[in-house]
Structure 1
Amino acid sequence: MGSQTLRPGARLSSQVCQTQVIVVRGGGGAPELGCGGAPLVGQSGAATEPALPADAALLGGSPLGKRFVVPGAPSVVELLVTRAGEGTLTADGVAMVEKEAAKLPSSD
């Protein structure tokens, strides 16, 4: 997925665990996205079993419903986890971080 354009709505799957994501924000020059030490791949529609071994250092988990961004560059790419798994989401080999929830103003 390296230097390709990531379209919002694109569905990607891990090759090492059950993690599946949807691209919420993407664009040209996107980083190489991975999960558990292997590149994310486009979904074929059917759930598949993991095909590659996971990197033990990248098994922090991807919780369902959480959004992940690239550290230090949150506007580059944003992923939404649609199926939880054991793998850690990465961008160019660096672990992605969970996006902070927006603070709502108080309604005094």
Structure 2
Amino acid sequence: MKSGSRLQSQVCETQVIVVRVSDGLEDLRCGGAPMVALDAEKDASLVLDPALSDGAVMGKRYVDDDGGELLVTKAGAGTLAIGDTPLRLKEAKPLPASD
């Protein structure tokens, strides 16, 4: 996996672009199923895990503890996770006050 890679979920409509790579992203999942390249075939036998169905928000960035970062380009029902550990929504940096 490298920066700029486009991935899709196999169990929902979620699509992402890898912004920053980390070792943890090798086990990237969405809705409990491994994510695949945008042009790859989906495995029709996989189903959305109800415990990992909080969804991914379009236009938001998700990060892991190792510095990996994803940008959601298409929202879906699955939760982005590394293994069973959900990724965090990246918080916006506060702008400096203008006095």
Q: TM-score, normalised by structure 2?
A: 0.88
**Cα-to-partner distance string for 1:33-64 (whole Å, 9 max, x where unaligned):** 0000100101118xx87832110111001010
Question: Paired residue for 1:53?
Answer: 47
Q: Does residue 87 of structure 2 align to residue 96 of structure 1?
A: yes
* Cα distance change on mapping 1:79 and 1:33 into 2, 3 Å: same
Is the CA contact 2:24–2:66 (under 8 Å) kept in the aligned structure 1? Answer: no
Name the Cα RMSD after superposition: 1.9
Is the CA contact 2:57–2:75 (under 8 Å) kept in the aligned structure 1? Answer: yes
Q: Distance in 1 between matches of 2:42 and 2:2?
A: 25
Where in structure 2 are there 5+ consecutive unaligned residues? none
Q: Distance in 2 between matches of 1:58 and 1:50?
A: 18
Q: TM-score, normalised by structure 1?
A: 0.82
Q: Does residue 7 of structure 2 align to residue 16 of structure 1?
A: no
Output aligned runs, 1:1-108, within 5 Å: 6-27=1-22, 29-31=23-25, 32-44=27-39, 51=44, 52-70=46-64, 73=65, 75=67, 77-108=68-99
Where in structure 1 are there 5+ consecutive unaligned residues? 1-5
Aligned-residue identity in percent:
49
| Amino acid of the structure 1 residue aligned with 2:77 | E
Number of residues of Structure 1 aligned to a counterpart in Structure 2? 97
